Amino acid sequence: MMKSAHAAWIGATLGVAALTLAGDVAALQPLSRDEIIARAKTVVGYSYWWGHGKWRTDGAQHGSCSGSCPSCSHSGSYGADCSGFVGKAWQVPSPSPVTQEQSPHYTTWSYAGSSSMWGPISKTAGKRGDAYVYNSGGAGHIFLFEGTTNWSYVKAYECKGCSYGCVYGTRELSAVYSGRRRAAVTDVVDTDGDGVPDDKDNCDTVDNKDQKDTDGDKKGDACDTDDDGDGDLDTKDNCPLAKNPDQIDTDKDKKGDACDTDDDGDGVLDAKDVCPLVADKSQQDTDKDKQGDACDDDDDGDGVKDAADNCPVVANKDQADSDGDGRGNACDGDDDGDGFPDATDNCPKVANKDQADLDADQLGDACDDDRDGDGAPDAKDNCPDDPNKDQADANHDGVGDACEGDLDGDGVPNDRDSCPAAANPGQEDDDGDGAGDACDDDRDGDGVSNAKDNCPDYPNAGQEDVCHDGDSGLDPTGGKDLELTLAPTASEEAGGCGVSPPGGSRDSGLGLMGLGLLLVLGGRRERRS
């Protein structure tokens, strides 16, 4: 039944085809070879469906075939037999979506015959989109030509049969097959076979599918000798795809800066390089101004250009240079140039090789405004080198007592003066105790202070009135002081010891005692001398 039905179908189709073949040529739309092949590719994988020719471009719903055709069974809504496939690929007699059947459905018998919609070609003249058909004794097959192998086997798209479905593969072309070419094929000349017709190809002799034309001069890069149109031939252009007439190549790597992602060749890409044109692997940027030190004329950003900056990488607006060695204090390890590093120099800004520090306050004398650390600034300290908080200056000579050499100004240096603070040029010291009489509160050394001693110049521990002044010495009010004369009176020499009070005579009872005193005093003088 299938056979008869098929025969009827064939007859009906052919009958229609016989009329159609002649009449529908006007509906035949021009088609390029690439379009034919592009449509053919979408059939691969679909099932063989005898008597049909439709499928989907999304590859879905392949359908399936089983059995032996024409007695085969098909399931699904899509599939094609060999002729239905070619008719759809060729869009004959008129265009329709691949998802719809072509009407009429031409068979291999149709294709093997003559038509104004297709014509015969030599077997060896096949081109993309042509077909090869065989039909004999009710049997026939047709497939589409895409290309050939080295042996001239055909690279073919075909709906091969129930077991195979619609496939792409190489196959032999036996002599029983005849070549067919669709009419109105825009025999697009594509000399280089890149899929772009020559009349649209910006390089029609060189395969360039992408049609890239960097400089837009309508000559594709693939055949343009100056792709970027900068006047430099590509063979010599260090950036053939970037306009750079100057050909600057900072790192001389033969890749111009215009296309080099690392112009200075320091391994840091330009986009991140703080000095894209100066090689600097360290990427140092002292002042963080995004301009690396290698190309920044003011590395520390202190407003002083590096060429003149005495500390180029340490900000120092003042440019202070204590020792004038050309290296600013901000970066000089020894600002005062005294040989002592600043970190340990007790006067880092003042040269002091001796590092003298009188008051040991870690601040060297050379820069200490209070050397002796007595709280009195040196400028006002009357003894800047001798601590004297009280600033005493007994003789008001502006030199503090602590450092005064002759405090009392008696001509005798302090260190020898028996009374440094009391002028005693004669250095008298009656009792010879080292304290001059001028400052000795017990001149005679008798243990009784001068103020209480009735004879302050004569030793009288018992306070006997040895100086005959009528003052027993016990009088707390003092009484008359005894005056001694060195030379005894005549009476004394006569055996008395009269000590003459000023203007008066003395009792001779004291004469011997007076003589004794004289002897004692003389001895003392001798001792003293």
Partner 1 sequence: MAIGAVVALRARSTAPGGAPAQTPASKPPSSVTARRPVPPRPPLPAARPSVSGGAVVFGAAWGSGPSELGRSAARESSPMAPMSFVPGPAGQALVLDQVNQRVQLVEGGRVVRSIPLPSETFDDVARLAGGRVAALDRLVARSVAVVGPSGEVEREISLAGGEIERAGDVTSLHARADGLWVEVDHDRLVRIADGAGAPAESRSVVPGRFSADGASWLRARVDADRGVTVTSTPRAGGPPEQARVVFALPVLSVAALESDATGRVLLVATTIDEAPVAPYDVLRVEETLVVLDRQLAELRRIALPAKTTPEEQLVRYRVGPDGALYSLSLDDQGATLRRIDP
CB of residue 80 vs partner 1: minimum separation in angstroms? 9
CB of residue 56 vs partner 1: minimum separation in angstroms? 19
The answer to whether 105 and 53 are in contact (CB under 8 A) is: yes
Identity of the residue, 5 or 494, whose beta carbon is nearer to partner 1 in the bound complex: 5
Identity of the residue, 21 or 159, whose beta carbon is nearer to partner 1 in the bound complex: 159
Identity of the residue, 105 or 443, whose beta carbon is nearer to partner 1 in the bound complex: 105
How many other CB atoms are there within 10 angstroms of residue 196's CB atom?
Answer: 21
Identity of the residue, 33 or 160, whose beta carbon is nearer to partner 1 in the bound complex: 160
What amino acid is encoded at 363 in this protein?
A: L
Show Cβ contacts of residue 436 under 8 Å, excluding neighbours closer than 6 positions. Answer: 417, 418, 419, 422, 424, 427, 428, 429
Q: What is the largest CA-CA distance in the chain?
A: 201
- Which H, E and C letters describe 285-306, residue by residue? CCCCCCCCCCCCCCCCCCCCCC
Identity of the residue, 48 or 458, whose beta carbon is nearer to partner 1 in the bound complex: 48
CB of residue 132 vs partner 1: minimum separation in angstroms? 11
The DSSP secondary structure of 197-226, one letter per residue, reads -TTT-SSTTS--TT---TT-SSS-TTT-SS
CB of residue 59 vs partner 1: minimum separation in angstroms? 15
CB of residue 168 vs partner 1: minimum separation in angstroms? 4
Identity of the residue, 163 or 225, whose beta carbon is nearer to partner 1 in the bound complex: 163
Identity of the residue, 9 or 395, whose beta carbon is nearer to partner 1 in the bound complex: 9
Identity of the residue, 71 or 282, whose beta carbon is nearer to partner 1 in the bound complex: 71
CB of residue 245 vs partner 1: minimum separation in angstroms? 41
CB of residue 199 vs partner 1: minimum separation in angstroms? 25
Q: Are strands 79-80 and 53-54 parallel, antiparallel or unpaired?
A: antiparallel
Angle 191-197-200 from CA coordinates, rounded to 5°:
120
Identity of the residue, 77 or 149, whose beta carbon is nearer to partner 1 in the bound complex: 149
How far apart (Å, rounded) are the C-alpha atoms in residues 52 and 57? 16
Tokens of 95: 């265009």
Identity of the residue, 146 or 300, whose beta carbon is nearer to partner 1 in the bound complex: 146
CB of residue 8 vs partner 1: minimum separation in angstroms? 15
Identity of the residue, 6 or 525, whose beta carbon is nearer to partner 1 in the bound complex: 6
How far apart (Å, rounded) are the C-alpha atoms in residues 302 and 209? 57
- Encode burial over 385-414: b for 16+ CB neighbours within 10 A, e otherwise: ebbbeeeebeeeeebbbbbbebbbebebee
- Terminal C-alpha separation, the chain: 173
How far apart (Å, rounded) are the C-alpha atoms in residues 458 and 467? 7
CB of residue 286 vs partner 1: minimum separation in angstroms? 53
CB of residue 189 vs partner 1: minimum separation in angstroms? 18
Cis ω for the linkage preceding 93 (within 30 of 0): yes
CB of residue 114 vs partner 1: minimum separation in angstroms? 8
Interacting residues with partner 1 (CB under 8 A):
6, 48, 50-51, 68-70, 81-84, 107-108, 114, 119-124, 134, 136, 138-141, 143, 148-153, 155, 158-165, 167-179
How far apart (Å, rounded) are the C-alpha atoms in residues 44 and 304? 76
Helices (H), ranges, 253-359: none
How many other CB atoms are there within 10 angstroms of residue 60's CB atom?
Answer: 9
How far apart (Å, rounded) are the C-alpha atoms in residues 231 and 244? 9
The DSSP secondary structure of 352-394, one letter per residue, reads -TT---TT-SSS-TTT-SSTT-SSS-TTT-SSTTS--TT---T
Run of H or E including 120: strand 118-121
